[in-house]
Amino acid sequence: MNINRRDFVLSGAAAAFAAAGPKTAFGQAPFDVAQGRPTMLTPRSVKPVVISSSNGNRFKNGGTMTCVEKAFSLITKGSDVLDALVEGVNIVELDPLDTSVGYGGLPNADGVVQLDSSCIHGLKKRAGAVAAIEGVRTPSRVALAVANETDHHLLVGRGAQEFARNMGFTIEDDLNTDTSRARWLEWKRRIDPEHYLDPKKRAERGRQVMLDMVREGLLDENHIYGTINCDGVSPKGEVCGVTTTSGLAWKIPGRVGDSPILGAGLYVDGAVGAAGSTGRGEANLFNLCSFLIVEEMRRGASPKDAGMAALKRIAANTIEKRLLNDKGRPNFGLNFYVLNAKGEHAGVSMYDATYAVCTENGPQTVRTEALYEGKPTE
């Protein structure tokens, strides 16, 4: 058979690319050059892992397992990864002792509990989210139903509640517990002793009262912004994530933070990894950092370095004096939980914090990698 020089060079280049070309997280070339079509990925075995914000290894809702334990157990038994993660965060959503998520979450300025959640299935390329939904203790399950039962990604407010009702969810009149209602009444008493204040003074006073309640032990400083993010990877390398929250304590009714927004409070690419967040949602929304982190990992960054890149961008974009401490640094907390498709993970934070991890060695709460030492107000 005759072959000209051009065909010889092209065939040689194709063979070289196939042998030494870029690899996916699963160790195979993503494109079959000779055939001109994508290859079928056959994942190498991955050590499964589940990571979450620290409350994922704290609350048990009267049971024996925490969120990360439950999710890891289900994943290693063959359950769908996203289903397992939602089962895990349900523990926290239903536990009245956690005032940052689900039932008993701290309410908005009118005393109403409004919840947000999002979820993404990396393998199935599905996503669902709900925002400002009232009356449903487990918004993560409603977000999952949005992903599985609709052609949409985000439902909000009354429409989200009606969808949940139509899907068979129980709708309750009030998700406050005695604790969350008492905290709201105390905040209301302190901020509005004469009924109404000047709007600027009221906003300033509201933040000061919140910080005072933290110092007095009435509020957990980690629960001002609330939230649980939980991400996991299976032995087959299947990556999924879920984020759920009651949002900022005493927020303006209707306020939606980063948690239900794809690319902000959560982002997953099944071939790359997952990232989610807790903390000041407005800072994350402005920078769409979960998407940024996954894209950094796509370019080869480790989970830690990808997360740090996001924190540095947020710090650089925070210029309003009201959002800066005496050192000129952000005066708020923000954490990211990062996992790649190989099972490597990291927790990174603006200031010192912790995150939860569960592997074959069991659940642990470990320190994050912090951009700055200490606390936001120091």
pTM: 0.82
Torsion angles phi and psi, residue 49, rounded to 5: -155, 150
Tokens found for residue 255: 């306020």
Is 150 annotated as catalytic? no
**CB neighbour burial string for 117-130, b if at least 16 within 10 angstroms, e if fewer:** bbbbbbbeebbbbb
> How far apart, in whole angstroms, are the C-alpha atoms of residue 20 and residue 38?
16
Task: Classify strands 49-53 and 228-233 as parallel, antiparallel or unpaired.
Answer: antiparallel
Residue with tokens 């690899």: 23
* Tens-binned pLDDT, residue by residue, of the chain (378 aa): 444 544 444 444 444 434 444 444 444 434 343 444 443 343 458 999 999 999 999 999 999 999 999 999 999 999 999 999 999 999 999 999 999 999 999 999 999 999 999 999 999 999 999 999 999 999 999 999 999 999 999 999 999 999 999 999 999 999 999 999 989 988 888 887 654 345 555 566 666 776 677 677 766 665 555 699 999 999 999 999 999 999 988 898 999 999 999 999 999 999 999 999 999 999 999 999 999 999 999 999 999 999 999 999 999 999 999 899 999 999 999 999 999 999 999 999 999 999 999 999 999 999 999 999 998 876
Can you give the pLDDT at residue 202?
A: 59
Residue with tokens 């990925």: 41
In angstroms, the Cα distances linking 322 to 125, 150, 326 are: 39, 41, 10
- 10 C-beta neighbours (distance < 10 Å), count: 12
Specify whether the CB–CB gap between 343 and 48 falls below 8 A: yes
Q: 149: closest CA among 130, 175, 177?
A: 130
Specify whether the CB–CB gap between 268 and 274 falls below 8 A: yes
Q: Which amino acid is at 103?
A: Y
Compute the half-sphere exposure of residue 344: CA atoms within 13 Å on the CB side of its CA.
15
Coil, helix or strand at residue 55: helix
Tokens found for residue 375: 């606390």
- 144 C-beta neighbours (distance < 10 Å), count: 24
Can you give the pLDDT at residue 198?
A: 52
In which region does residue 148 sit, left (phi positive, over 0), alpha (psi from -120 to 50) or beta (all else)?
Answer: alpha
Helix axis angle, 199-215 relative to 178-191, nearest 10°?
Answer: 130
Sheet arrangement for strand 354-359:
154-156, 126-133, 115-121, 239-245, 228-233, 49-53, 354-359, 362-367
Q: Which amino acid is at 159?
A: G
Work out whether the CA dihedral 15, 17, 22, 24 comes out positive or negative. negative
Residue with tokens 């689900």: 102
Burial of 160 (0-12, 13-18, 19+ CB in 10 A): buried
Can you give the pLDDT at residue 199?
A: 52
Specify whether the CB–CB gap between 85 and 50 falls below 8 A: yes
- CA-based end-to-end distance of the chain: 77
DSSP class of residue 151 equals: S
> How far apart, in whole angstroms, are the C-alpha atoms of residue 309 and residue 355?
19
Span 49-177+220-370: which CATH code? 3.60.20.30
Continuous H helices in the chain: 5-20, 67-76, 81-94, 139-149, 157-166, 178-191, 199-215, 281-287, 289-298, 303-317
Q: 147: closest CA among 83, 93, 52, 78?
A: 83
DSSP 220-251: -GGGTT--EEEEEE-TT--EEEEEEE--STTP
Can you give the pLDDT at residue 200?
A: 56
Helix axis angle, 81-94 relative to 139-149, nearest 10°?
Answer: 150
Q: Structural domain boundaries of the chain? A: 5-38, 49-177+220-370
Q: Which of 66, 99, 227, 354 is catalytic?
A: 227
